[in-house]
Structure 1
């Protein structure tokens, strides 16, 4: 992904929305962003790094829908529930 790709994706978002960094697909958690740093890679190409907050603040698990959208988890459904019979007096049979 390039900075342009990221800007395109972010341009469709609410400018007042908070940003969280989703990390670790095997234990998906949300973290606060701490900053953006520019650098060059080993081949001299420009890179941008998005860092976690210096406080390493973690907001807990990602919402399941986000983990599914990132393809980190499969969609799940609760177990099927059987309909229970109506409660009431026994007919004595």
Structure 2
């Protein structure tokens, strides 16, 4: 197993700190970030015969929920924080 891969134990540890009543969503595609409903957990074997667990998105028509909220994309480091443009002083009616 690649040491950078998250394990089921890692996921359980991270989820244990979350609100148990909160819906679980999947964040996908860092270049066009979208949110999806999570629907299934499937245990299988990888190409070496080792155990692997898959978390699948919903197959329902409403499974894709739309764009990922910008603050989530920033937290995932998929997007850089966006700063509002600097404010310029307003001009008066006399053009000054």
Unaligned runs of 5+ in 2: 1-5
TM-score by length of 1: 0.87
TM-score by length of 2: 0.85
* 2:3 corresponds to: none
* 2:58 corresponds to: 53
Output the CA distance in 2 between the equivalents of 1:82 and 1:19.
42
Larger Rg: 1
**Which piece of structure 1 moves more, 48-57 or 11-20?**
48-57
Q: Give the RMSD, CA atoms, in angstroms.
A: 1.3
Correspondence 1:1-93 to 2 at 5 A: 1-55=6-60, 57-85=63-91
Unaligned runs of 5+ in 1: none
Secondary structure of the residue that 1:39 maps to in structure 2?
strand
Instruction: Please list every run of at least 4 consecutive aligned residues from structure 1 whose deviation after the TM superposition is greater than 4 angstroms.
Output: none
Question: Residue 59 of structure 1: CA displacement?
Answer: 1.0
Output the CA distance in 2 between the equivalents of 1:86 and 1:30.
45
